[in-house]
Structure 1
Amino acid sequence: MGTFEELVAEGAAVPLEGWDFSWFEGRATEERPPWGYASLIAARLRDVTSALDLQTGGGEVTASAPVLPPVMVATESWPPNAAVAARRLPLVVQAPDAGPLPFRSSSFDLVISRHPVVTPWAEIARVLRSGGTCFSQQIGAGTNRELTDFMMGPQPVGGARSAAVARAEAEAAGLEVLLLEPVSLRVAFFDVGAVVHFLRKVLWTVPGFTVEGYRDRLLEMHRHIQRHGEFVCTSTRFLVEARKA
């Protein structure tokens, strides 16, 4: 393990494009949800003729499916991520996360999304065909709140990202919720460089994070990890599946 300055500089230099988290190997761990999202969407993609992947990031998860449907489209709002995804997927369209989606109504049998920033349920309902489904793994309310509080002081936990809100919004859009499964997962960081890279990549954990702006708290994080061997927090996820009648 390097010095504080070396670790911080290393975490600050890692490119942010895509959603490949392999850089964290040996430096941080996150318990995986029990359901195996990639395997579940692979099975669903195999059985449809058209699918839309919303906010695909670098397209990593969808591209891992062994079979893609004849019509496979993805959206991504951040141009660097869209460029990465375009190398993996047949068609990637730059579109705003909150919509509107640039597709005709009733265009897709399946809409998928892993960790969307926002979920535009009304637009999802519009572009789904009758009997089509939306299948998504979402980040729940209060995820990694221990990390947020360590860096910023105690913060209120809003309910906007809760499973209950997702159900209400999906139903308000005219969808029938078939599955809603929440889970809490253990996250551990083993050096402050991993914390820096995570906060740069997952922007909503500490809004407005910069190394200089949070140097004092990063130094305290470094000392905490030296004393305890890790910094532990809890992520929340939920799986939701909804069908258009």
Structure 2
Amino acid sequence: VRVVGCVGPLLQTQESLRPFLESCLPLLWNDLSLNSEQLRWLVAIGVLVEILKVVSGPAFEPLQGVYFNHLLESCHPGGFFTPTRSFEVRKAALEGVGVCASHGGAAFHPHVPASVALCTAILATEMANEDDAHELGIRDRAASTLAEICKHHRDKVPKFMEVLSLWMDWLPITTLEECAETCHMVMCELVRDGPLGPASPLFPRVLSVIGQLDPEEEEYSEGLTQLLAAVVRQAKALPPDQLRKFMGGLDKSERRSLEAWGQQA
């Protein structure tokens, strides 16, 4: 697993390694069986995902065509006639689906319904233990993957506003920093682009989410800080009655955080 963690940085600096690693993918995947150890699944998925992250354009589609269904299947928990998959394997596979959504272009369109159904099912399933880090992590990753789908393939998402509503119910993300960055940035972009803007019934929920992100207690990237501050400034520019209505549904700490975000440069 540590070796897999080095693959991404190596591919960023040593492009010549990619053909060799791609040639290893069939060996890694063809050697897997339902009864293979979870670690072997994790290695195969991890190497694939790191390759997908650095591939774009015409080179991406063949990889997606060969391996996407394997990724999608690996996201499921298993059971009954298949071995139970670990949370780590499922999270890695979900990340791969998200990478396909962000890099796959039009070739990903046929996969949108199944991918959305997978992510929404994970988010809608009641947690056996709300304090379990593994259960929280798999849902955070599903939310991040769903964010990528909604960002890049909005017009192909069935019942888009219903999906957004379910997704918003899981925000803010508090456990996985990478997933939090993705989800909160996409949320702000959807405000800017309209679906979650002030005319949306979900806009009060957006303000509540931002209100739960304290700019004084956590560090945020410059890009996310600017987007969050822009949403708050957009809200403040609304007619007073409308703004008062939105703010009335927030508690004191949320209103205080919104005020702080509005003062960000």
Q: TM-score, normalised by structure 1?
A: 0.26
**Bigger proportion of residues as helix:** 2
**Bigger proportion of residues as strand:** 1
Q: Which has the higher contact order (CA 8 A, sep 6+)?
A: 1
